[in-house]
Amino acid sequence: MPNTATLEINGQKHEFPLVKGTENEVAIDIKTLRAATGGITTIDPGYKNTGACESAITFLDGEKGILRYRGYAIEDLAQKADFLEVAFLLIFGELPNQEQLEEFHSDIKAQSLVDDDVRKIIDAFPKSAHPMGVLSSLTSALTAFNPSSVNVNSEEDMYHAIVKILAKFPVLVAWTLRKKQGLPLDYGDNSLGYVENILKMMFKKPNEEYVQSQVMVDALDKLLILHADHEQNCSTSTVRIVGSSHAGLFASISAGISALWGPLHGGANQAVLEMLEAIKEDGGDTKKYMAKAKDKEDPFRLMGFGHRVYKNLDPRATIIKVSADKVLNDLGVEDPILEVAKGLEQEALNDDYFVSRKLYPNVDFYSGIIYRAMDIPTDMFTVMFALGRLPGWIAQWREMRLNNEPIGRPRQLYIGETHREFKNIKKR
Ligand code: CMC
């Protein structure tokens, strides 16, 4: 294979190097394009063909349905690791040994208090506020309570910022839920595992003892692992681009939360459940909704279907589907919308519109059914996604800062008015 690509413009040839990744993916390095061509740029809305960075964190092959964190298959991690191990792996590049894991957890626990004044901010939100808006604001507010900026040349500073956000974020998540439910805010229990503590912080009632359910712990652990990173998706790219201006880690993550909120991205898990509920209420007529999804005049999309990169089964969806059956069974929950979901999936997998466009169920299609069985309210689903994605955002931010990447600043092709003479207001 050649190691350069040639671009010919008006008879003039320009050569650009081809670069190869460790999985033999090839990219054309166009860093010198504008300088070589006198300012010609590329246009690629949605960055469908543009690699924004080199990254050593997550590998995804959308054609083969492969997902690996730092080289480890998602199937292995979901089955054999716990969320904190995966967080360490994503952020620092290697699976921790027992001692490293314990030290990491103990450093996180040491930072798990959130300034009590943050309660005043939560109190100012109406109960009707969407939890994602609350979470994004609270994460940004953390910057005000922890104002010292991170010196990225200091491993110690970097580590300190990372354990701080891993410690305080679950508290904010739990407080967001508790505020909605009118429950007193709680600081958790440092004697528990990371995921056990999250569940207790979310669900403990003030007047009764909280009893851990291993089914819930395992289910949440798995869901968090499956959501932990997904290379340069919309929210991760947001975190990297905000961080590239040297805004701090908490501010960058707050921006990532806002990006995740949208229904085309993490917000799809809430949208899926609302869609399944609507279909059930409508008599379970899946055919009607399939027709709507295929109708180009109708803005309705089959939520939880399709993916920018996967043109095959999303491996996370495959794991979650099996898990949904097991969790509902173990928790003794019968949810008719699981059947609606399965029916819809079967129809889509046999429908030419979906098959020809390679639209398969994605991670969000079945996750909401599990969250619902765990008694997590629908508008908290995307918050749970954010909780899982946190280590990925941190890892990607850290990589971007350590690589000293330039500020993210795309170009454009201007198609507006050319120069116009200013008209006095009386003459307009
Ligand atoms: N229902 C109906 N048609 C669809 C769907 C869908 N869910 N997804 C894509 N299409 C059609 C689309 O209309 C287009 O058709 P045509 O070629 O005739 O114009 C074709 O498939 C390609 O779609 P696209 O919008 O160009 O693809 P994209 O890569 O820009 O968008 C997507 C990817 C995930 C935003 C999109 O598939 C979608 O909106 N899906 C529903 C929302 C969803 O489930 N999002 C979660 C994604 S996975 C988790 C995450 O990222 O957080």
Out of 307, 335, 375, 419, pick the active-site residue. 307
14, β-bridge pairs = 7
Give CA angle at 240 (143, 379), nearest 5°.
65
Task: Give yes or no for residue 168 having a pLDDT over 90.
Answer: yes
- pLDDT > 80? residue 137: yes
Which of 264, 383, 389 most suits a substitution to test ligand 1, by most atoms within 8 Å of the C-beta? Answer: 264
Residues of the chain with pLDDT > 70, as a percent, come to 100
105 is catalytic: no
Residue 150 has pLDDT above 90, yes or no: no
Closest residue CA from atom 11 of ligand 1: 357
Asked if the model's pLDDT at residue 148 lies above 90, the reply is no
Which residues lie with the beta carbon below 6 Å from any ligand 1 atom? 46, 233, 264-266, 268, 293, 301-308, 357, 359, 362-364
pLDDT 10s digits, 91-113: 999 999 999 999 999 999 999 99
Residue listed under structure tokens 């629908």: 378
Confidence of residue 216 (pLDDT cuts 50, 70, 90): very high
Of the listed ranges 8-22, 169-183, 236-250, 329-343, the least confidently predicted one is 329-343
Supply the residue whose CA is at minimum distance from atom 29 of ligand 1. 308
CA-nearest of 29, 55, 54, 53 to 42 is 29
Q: Burial-class residue 14 by CB neighbours within 10 Å (0-12, 13-18, 19+).
A: middle
Q: Where are the alpha helices (DSSP H) in 297-376?
A: 315-331, 336-349, 352-356, 364-373
Q: Is residue 7 classed as helix, strand or coil in its secondary structure?
A: strand
Q: What is the CA radius of gyration of the chain?
A: 23
- Best probe residue, ligand 1, of 301, 312, 358 (max atoms within 8 Å of C-beta): 301
Which residue has its alpha carbon closest to ligand 1 atom 19? 296
**Could you tell me the CA-to-CA distances from 126 to 129, 202, 285, 302, 372 in Å, in that order?**
6, 19, 36, 31, 23
pLDDT at 186: 85
Look up 115 and say whether it is catalytic.
no
Instruction: Report which ligand 1 atom has the smallest distance to the Cα of 385.
Output: 52
Q: Distance (Å, rounded) from C-alpha 172 to C-alpha 61?
A: 34
The pair phi, psi for residue 14, each rounded to 5°, is -125, 135
Counting atoms of ligand 1 from 1, which one is nearest the CA of 304?
A: 44
Whole-number pLDDT of residue 317: 94
User: Is the pLDDT reported for residue 313 higher than 90?
Assistant: no
- Residue 151 confidence (pLDDT): 85
Considering 221, 229, 314, 364, which one is annotated as catalytic?
Answer: 364
> Which 3 state secondary structure label does DSSP give 126?
coil
DSSP label of 224: H
Mean pLDDT of 46-57: 97
Instruction: State which of 231, 308, 310 you would mutate to test the pocket of ligand 1, scoring each by most atoms of that ligand within 8 A of its C-beta.
Output: 308
Q: pLDDT (tens digit, 9 = 90+) per residue, 401-419?
A: 999 999 999 999 999 999 9
149 has a pLDDT exceeding 80:
no
Confidence of residue 284 (pLDDT cuts 50, 70, 90): confident
What pLDDT is attached to residue 152?
Answer: 84
Distance CA 167, CA 159 (A): 12
Residue nearest to atom 27 of ligand 1 (CA): 308
In ligand 1, the atom with minimum distance to the C-alpha of 301 is: 1
Give the mean model confidence (pLDDT) for residues 28-54.
97
In ligand 1, the atom with minimum distance to the C-alpha of 234 is: 51
- 327 C-alpha to center of ligand 1: Å? 28
Which residues have a Cβ under 8 Å from the Cβ of 325 and sit 6 or more positions away?
338
CA nearest ligand 1 atom 9, residue: 306
Q: Whose CA is nearest to atom 15 of ligand 1?
A: 357
Of the ranges 58-72, 142-156, 203-217, 327-341, which one carries the lowest mean pLDDT score?
142-156
> Which atom of ligand 1 lies nearest, measured to the CA of 266?
52
What spacing in Å lies between the alpha carbon of 329 and ligand 1's midpoint?
31
Distance 171 CA to ligand 1 centre (A): 33
Q: Does residue 1 have a pLDDT over 80?
A: no
**What rounded mean pLDDT belongs to the chain?**
94
Neighbours of 121 (CB within 10 A): 16
311 CA → ligand 1 middle, Å: 11
Average pLDDT of the residues in 10-21: 96
Taking residues 104-131, report their average pLDDT.
94
Question: Across residues 375-395, what is the average pLDDT?
Answer: 97
User: Two tokens at 262?
Assistant: 């949208």
Q: Which H or E element spans position 395?
A: helix 381-402
Residue with the larger pLDDT of the pair 312 and 106: 106
At residue 68 the predicted structure's pLDDT band, cuts being 50, 70 and 90, is: very high
State in Å: Cα 84 to ligand 1 middle: 32
| Ligand 1 atom nearest to 265, measured from its CA | 52
Q: Give the number of other CB atoms < 10 A from CB of residue 26.
A: 11
- In this structure, of 105-119, 192-206, 335-349, 395-409, the range with the lowest mean pLDDT score is 335-349
Mean pLDDT, rounded, for 275-288 = 91
Give dist(CA 251, CA 229) in Å, integer.
19
pLDDT beyond 80 at 268: yes
What is the distance between the alpha carbons of residues 103 and 167, in angstroms, rounded to a whole number? 13
CA angle 98, 99, 104 (to 5 degrees): 100
Q: How far, in Å, from the CA of 221 to the mean position of ligand 1?
A: 28
